[in-house]
Amino acid sequence: MYTYQVKIKLHDTDAAGLLFFSHQFELIHDAYEALLENIGFGFAELIKNKNYFLPIVHAESDYKLPLFVGDLIEIQVTVEKVGNTSFTFAYKLLNAKQQLVGTARTVHVTMDKATKKKIPLPKEMRVKIDDLYSVDH
């Protein structure tokens, strides 16, 4: 499991100071980016120097408890599934009291930059994601 912490900022909220629903996706994507960087696949490197992309082909999110501006949250990221051309990450959002405030899931497919077709996960990435998966299961 990878853990990411963040504070809810004013620009993440609506007029009532409550987390705006779509911003939960931004928060989990920040956690996803931090995880990839942590395992050696930062987006700058991927975009500039690799021959593949990792588009999200499915995303879902549930909201369990409200979050307000100033709340500190922890996002726990786990590898739910690893396929030949894709992987699925699951996210748990916890407030400062460690209460579950939200969940999410994203499915990522490896796509060749030139052909725009699905390709197998690159070996070096597969090893790192498999390592995370084995720790999570």
- State the catalytic residue, choosing from 12, 14, 62, 136: 14
Q: Cα(82)–Cα(101) distance, rounded to whole angstroms? A: 26
Long-range own/partner contacts, residues 82-88 (CB < 8 A, 24 or more apart): 82/121, 82/126, 82/129, 82/130, 82/133, 84/120, 84/121, 85/109, 85/110, 85/118, 85/119, 85/120, 85/121, 86/57, 86/110, 86/118, 86/121, 87/121, 87/129
Asked whether the beta carbons of 8 and 68 are under 8 A apart, the reply is yes
Active-site annotation holds for 30: no
Catalytic residues: 14
